[in-house]
Amino acid sequence: MKATAALAFFVAAAQAAPHYTFPKLAGTADWSSVRQTANFQSNGPVTDVTSDAIRCYQRAAGGAPDITKVNAGGQITWSVAPNIYHPGALSAYMAKVPSGQTAATWDGKGAVWFKVFQDMPSTSGGQYTWPSNGKSSVAFTVPQCIADGDYLFRIEHVALHSASSTNGAQFYISCAQITVSGGSGSKTPSNLVSFPGAYKSSDPGLLINIYNNGGKTYQPAGPAVFTC
C-alpha cells in the first residue's frame, strides 16, 4: 500500500513539473535557424501522433530566418530550455530538402525522414532511466556518408511519465534548418518515414508504464537508425 502511494505521488509530481523546448543550435540565437514552435511560450507538448504538429510543431507556416552550416561527420548540438526534465526517449531525424527549395522554404511533408539517433534506457528494479534525462544540451553526429545540401534536422524527446494511457506520451519537438557540407554521398538513407505517419499511439514505445516494465527491453517508436 505504501509503495503504491509513493508511486502515485512520484507520477503526480512528474506531471506537475516544468515542460521544455529546443529553441536553438549551439552558437545561434533562439529561433534563428530553428523554426519557432507553437509551445515557445507555454512549453507544452504534442500528444496526438496523427497531428501535423508531430512534424515540427511549428507556430506558423514558413521557415526560420537563418540556415546553419554543419559538417558531415561532425556534431550538431541543441540547447534545451530549461532542461529535459521528464524521463523518456530522445531521438533525432533528418530530411533532405528537394531540388528547387531550401531548408527555409520546405515543409518536410512526405516519407522523407530518416532517423539518425535513438537513445536507450537502462533498467533497474522494473524502471527505465534514460541518459538524456536532466540535460540542458544534447549533441548528435551528422552522418558522414550523406550527400551535401540543405536538410531539416528534427529533434524529438518523448516524455513517458504519463504514457501508461493512450495519448499520454508527450512529444517535445523542434526542427532546425541546416546546410551539410563535406558529405561523401556514398549512401542513400533508407527506412524513410513521414510525420504524421511514423507512429501509432499504440506503439509499445509510446503506450507503456516506465515505472513497472517487468524488465522488458524498451522498444522505441519509429524506424531503425540509419548508419553509414
Residue with cell 535513438: 118
Quote the pLDDT of residue 177.
98
Given a cut of 60, whether residue 13 has pLDDT beyond it is: no
- Residues 23-70 have pLDDT tens digits of 999 999 999 999 999 998 888 999 999 999 999 999 999 999 999 999
Quote the pLDDT of residue 43.
84
Handedness of CA 62, 108, 202, 6 (dihedral sign): negative
Q: Which residues contact 124 (CB under 8 A, 6 or more apart)?
A: none
Q: Look at 10-19, 69-78, 98-107, 128-137 and tell me which has the smallest mean pLDDT.
A: 10-19
Q: Which residues contact 217 (CB under 8 A, 6 or more apart)?
A: 123
pTM attached to this predicted model? 0.91
Quote the pLDDT of residue 42.
85
Radius of gyration of the chain (CA): 17
Residue with cell 523518456: 88
